[in-house]
Structure formats: structure tokens, C-alpha cells
């Protein structure tokens, strides 16, 4: 005998609920077919035994994921739902929701969707065989004419499973991504100094704690491009985490033989972002993220691709110096301000110094770049030294003037 229905709450069987397209061509199952389905309710245990044999080849792939008791219990309720639907009997509320419960539970258990739906569709074969077994020769015509009702009941059950499964997968994906974001934040907040956080973050993020990493960051507005690059890397199988950190978008990639730093940079070639140096160990990632963000903050306004920290140190140092950078520019370059020096002369001296400091350091090369004689360059250096007290031909003065020029340029952009 089948288990007695729980609670009095019940819902009408799904099939007769309102007209559907084609309802006139497909009337409800005949009274006799409904009686046969009702008789099958008294032998659900037998049906489950047959179904378990039929479904065994499908279940093998996920047998360890679903306990036997769970498997049999959900099958019992599924067969009761299908038979009550075909028999046009009231469906208890706890039975009516079996499709959604099975779909959600199997998703959380990790059962593959295609295997799950294949197993559910085998219900039709078992129910149909049971109806045929109980039908007399005189019943066969009515039974065949009502075959669609059995198939429709099974398909509604399968559709309910599929929708609930997909909803659960989406929810689990959101929860998993929330957890990944939380662990990266905890890792960054710990600055990599807590071994337990590093270990747990590696597990949650799918990284190796002792791996090698490359970090990239994009300023506000550059997030979509970085997300697209992260998606491309993830599709290739690279261990990746991408998320917002404060106002910046951050990307952390574990690199190796397959996903080399060069390959990662190639994926970022159309993404304006700052890139940190390659670091060893997940505990070094927090500092690498800081450096990537610092590099992103000094990207040129017209940047169209990535810029590594090694090409941005001067800008990063000046930017991080804040007001001290402006003070440095005023102190070192203040002697070029009017009325002491005409704007045209100041511009000419700055151009000469800037060309020299960004070049090879050779006076001859600087003269060639400016299309003038090397003595002209030497005179301009002397004049610059008279006005500022800094001779760019001396290494220490050259370093200070280089920083002052960067600070001056940043101040003009700001």
C-alpha cells in the first residue's frame, strides 16, 4: 500500500486545471483510464522496484551523491504525483511540490542535470507499463487515446525539476561568488600576515597558497573591460578572481606553465589597467593588489591598454606623495616662473631637460632629438642650473628634477 497522505491540505490535480491550447483535441483521460491509474496507487512499492532496475544505468554516475533512502523517498512521491494526476484525484500539498524539491535538492547534491532529467523521464515507461498490465483488451483503445495524458504529467514533473534545479544552481553560484569575494577581502585586510586566512582563502578561491600570481587593477569606469578579460581567462581554465575593491576593479590570476604572465598580459592588451609585478605565494597578493591599484591610479587619460608598475614608478611615487609632490615641483622648478623667466624660455628649457632625462642621457642624443647643436643643449643646461640650482648632468640632481617634472605634469592634469 502507498503511504497515507500527509496534512489535509491538497490541491486539485494539474491536468484538469483550465483550458489549454489544444484542449478540445485532447480531452481529459477517460474514466476507465483514471480508474486504472487509481489502482496503481495501491502498488507504488512495486513500481519503484521496477523503476530502480530501469534507472540503474543512469543512476550509476551519481549513486554516491544521493542516499538510497532519499532516492526511494522522492521516487515514491513522484509516482504518487503522476498517478493522482492521471487518476484525476486530489494531490496533497506535500506531493504537489515534489518536482521542485527534487530539482533543488539534486542541484545542491551535485547531480548532473541531464542524468537527473533522463531518470525522471523513465517514469513514463514504468507508469505506462503498469497501466497496460491492468487494462483489459476492451480498455486498450481508451488507454492508447489517453497516452498523451500520462506523457504530459511526466513532462510537467520533469519541467518542474528542471526549473527548480536551474534556480538552485543560480542561487548557489551567487552564494559561492559572495563567499569568494568575502575571502579575497579578508585576505587583503590581513595583508597576507595570517597563515590561516591565507590557507582558507586559497581553498575558497581555488588558488594554490604557494602559487605565482599576477594582479591587475582598473580605475572606476574600467571595470567592464577588466571583467571581460577575467571572463576570457576563466573560460580558458585559468584560476581567477575578479571583483571590486573600494572604487577599483581588481583581477588576481594564478600563473604557471599554461597561463604565463605573457599570456595574461595578452588577454589584457585592450584593457586600460595597472599590472603588478609577478609575486610568489598568495600571502604576497595583498601587496601586489596595492601596487596594481597604485599603477591604475596614474594611468594616462588616453590609455588603451595595460601599464606595468615598472613603467610607472615615477608617476606612482609622485602620486602617492600627494601635496609633497606639488611642494617638490614648486621648490625645484619655481625658478622658471615669471616674471623671472619669460614663458617661451621656460618652455624651451623644460623641453630640453625633459627630452634629456627621458632619453639615453647623452648630450649628443638630446641635441639630435631637438635638432640643435650639442653646445646649445649645454648652454640650456647651464641656464637651467642658474635658475633652479639643479644641474641635470649630475645624477642626484637629475633624479630630483625627474620627480619634480612628473609632479608638475600631474598637477597640470589635475
Rg (CA), the chain: 37
pLDDT in tens, 221-276: 788 999 999 999 998 889 999 999 988 999 999 998 888 999 899 999 999 999 99
Domain boundary among 284, 310, 336: 310
Domain boundary among 120, 152, 171: 171
Tell me how far apart the alpha carbons of residues 151 and 131 are, in angstroms, rounded to a whole number: 13
**What CATH number is associated with residue 211?**
3.30.70.120
pLDDT in tens, 183-226: 999 999 999 999 999 999 999 999 999 999 999 999 877 889 99
149 & 240 share domain = no
35 & 153 share domain = yes
Binned at pLDDT 50, 70 and 90, residue 77 comes out as very high
Please check whether residue 7 lies inside any domain of the structure.
no
Cα 188 to Cα 76, 174, 178, 215, distances in angstroms: 50, 21, 16, 12
Binned at pLDDT 50, 70 and 90, residue 407 comes out as confident
206 & 303 share domain = yes
Tell me how far apart the alpha carbons of residues 277 and 292 are, in angstroms, rounded to a whole number: 8
Please check whether residue 250 lies inside any domain of the structure.
yes
Q: What is the pLDDT of residue 26?
A: 59
Please check whether residue 148 lies inside any domain of the structure.
yes
Please check whether residue 17 lies inside any domain of the structure.
no
71 & 107 share domain = yes
Handedness of CA 183, 184, 187, 188 (dihedral sign): negative
397, pLDDT greater than 50: yes
348 & 299 share domain = no
Q: What is the pLDDT of residue 15?
A: 43
173, pLDDT greater than 90: no
299 & 390 share domain = no
Cα 319 to Cα 46, 70, 304, 311, 325, distances in angstroms: 77, 62, 21, 14, 7
By percentage, how much of the chain surpasses pLDDT 90? 69
161 & 279 share domain = no
80, pLDDT greater than 90: yes
**What CATH number is associated with residue 48?**
1.10.490
Tell me how far apart the alpha carbons of residues 343 and 326 are, in angstroms, rounded to a whole number: 20
Binned at pLDDT 50, 70 and 90, residue 27 comes out as confident
Give the phi and the psi of residue 163 in degrees, each rounded to 5: -65, -45
What's the mean per-residue pLDDT of the chain? 89
Cα 156 to Cα 76, 90, 253, 317, distances in angstroms: 17, 16, 44, 65
262 & 302 share domain = yes
| Residue bearing the bigger pLDDT, 158 or 176 | 158
Instruction: Calculate mean pLDDT across residues 376-403.
Output: 93
DSSP of 159-206, one letter per residue?
HHHHHHHHHHHHHHHHHHHHHHHHHHHHHHHHTT--HHHHHHHHHHHT
Domain boundary among 264, 285, 310: 310
DSSP of 95-152, one letter per residue?
HHTHHHHHHHHHHHHT--HHHHHHHHHHHHHHHHHHHHHH--GGGHHHHHHTHHHHHH
3-state secondary structure of 248: strand
16, pLDDT greater than 60: no
Please check whether residue 20 lies inside any domain of the structure.
no
3-state secondary structure of 240: strand
Let me know: does 404 contact 357? Beta carbons within 8 Å: no
**Containing domain of residue 243, as a range?**
200-310
By percentage, how much of the chain surpasses pLDDT 70? 93
Q: Determine how β-strand 306-308 pairs with β-strand 273-275.
A: parallel
- The number of domains in the chain is 3
150 & 93 share domain = yes
Please check whether residue 1 lies inside any domain of the structure.
no
Give the length of the chain.
414
401 & 305 share domain = no
298 & 368 share domain = no
Which residue stretches of 253-362 are H helix? 261-267, 285-296, 313-321, 323-333, 343-357
Please check whether residue 51 lies inside any domain of the structure.
yes
Please check whether residue 352 lies inside any domain of the structure.
yes
51, pLDDT greater than 70: yes
292 & 344 share domain = no
Amino acid at each position: 500500500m502507498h503511504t497515507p497522505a500527509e496534512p489535509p491540505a491538497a490541491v486539485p490535480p494539474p491536468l484538469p486545471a483550465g483550458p489549454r491550447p489544444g484542449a478540445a483535441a485532447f480531452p481529459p483521460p477517460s474514466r476507465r483510464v483514471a480508474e486504472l491509474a487509481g489502482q496503481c496507487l495501491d502498488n507504488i512499492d512495486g513500481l519503484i522496484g521496477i523503476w530502480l532496475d530501469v534507472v540503474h544505468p543512469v543512476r550509476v554516475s551519481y549513486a554516491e551523491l544521493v542516499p538510497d533512502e532519499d532516492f526511494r523517498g522522492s521516487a515514491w512521491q513522484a509516482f504518487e504525483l503522476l498517478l493522482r494526476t492521471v487518476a484525476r484525484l486530489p494531490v496533497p500539498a506535500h506531493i504537489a511540490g515534489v518536482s521542485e524539491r527534487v530539482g533543488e535538492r539534486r542541484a545542491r547534491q551535485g547531480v548532473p542535470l541531464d542524468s537527473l532529467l533522463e531518470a525522471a523521464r523513465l517514469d513514463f515507461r514504468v507508469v505506462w507499463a503498469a497501466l497496460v498490465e491492468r487494462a483489459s483488451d476492451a480498455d486498450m483503445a481508451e488507454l492508447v487515446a489517453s497516452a498523451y495524458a500520462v506523457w504530459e504529467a511526466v513532462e510537467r514533473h520533469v519541467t518542474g525539476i528542471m526549473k527548480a534545479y536551474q534556480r538552485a544552481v543560480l542561487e548557489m553560484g551567487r552564494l559561492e561568488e559572495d563567499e569568494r569575494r568575502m575571502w579575497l577581502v579578508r585576505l587583503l585586510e590581513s595583508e597576507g600576515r595570517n597563515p590561516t586566512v591565507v590557507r582558507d582563502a586559497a581553498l575558497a578561491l581555488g588558488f594554490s597558497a604557494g602559487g605565482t600570481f599576477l594582479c591587475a587593477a582598473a580605475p572606476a569606469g574600467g571595470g567592464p573591460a577588466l571583467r571581460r578579460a577575467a571572463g576570457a581567462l576563466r573560460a580558458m581554465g585559468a584560476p581567477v578572481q575578479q571583483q571590486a575593491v573600494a572604487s577599483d576593479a581588481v583581477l588576481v590570476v594564478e600563473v604557471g606553465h599554461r597561463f604565463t604572465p605573457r599570456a595574461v598580459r595578452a588577454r589584457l592588451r585592450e584593457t586600460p589597467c595597472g599590472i603588478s609585478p609577478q609575486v610568489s605565494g598568495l600571502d604576497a597578493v595583498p601587496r601586489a593588489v596595492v601596487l596594481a591599484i597604485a599603477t591604475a591610479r596614474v594611468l594616462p587619460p588616453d590609455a588603451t591598454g595595460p601599464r606595468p608598475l615598472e613603467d610607472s614608478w615615477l608617476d606612482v611615487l609622485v602620486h602617492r606623495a600627494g601635496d609633497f609632490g606639488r611642494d617638490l615641483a614648486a621648490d625645484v622648478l619655481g625658478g622658471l616662473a615669471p616674471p623671472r623667466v619669460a614663458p617661451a624660455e621656460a618652455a624651451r628649457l623644460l623641453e630640453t631637460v625633459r627630452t634629456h632625462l627621458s632619453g639615453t642621457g647623452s648630450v649628443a642624443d638630446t641635441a639630435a632629438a631637438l635638432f640643435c647643436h650639442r653646445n646649445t643643449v649645454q648652454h640650456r643646461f647651464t641656464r637651467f642650473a642658474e635658475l633652479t640650482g639643479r644641474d641635470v648632468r649630475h645624477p642626484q640632481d637629475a633624479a630630483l628634477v625627474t620627480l619634480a617634472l612628473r609632479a608638475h605634469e600631474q598637477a597640470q592634469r589635475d
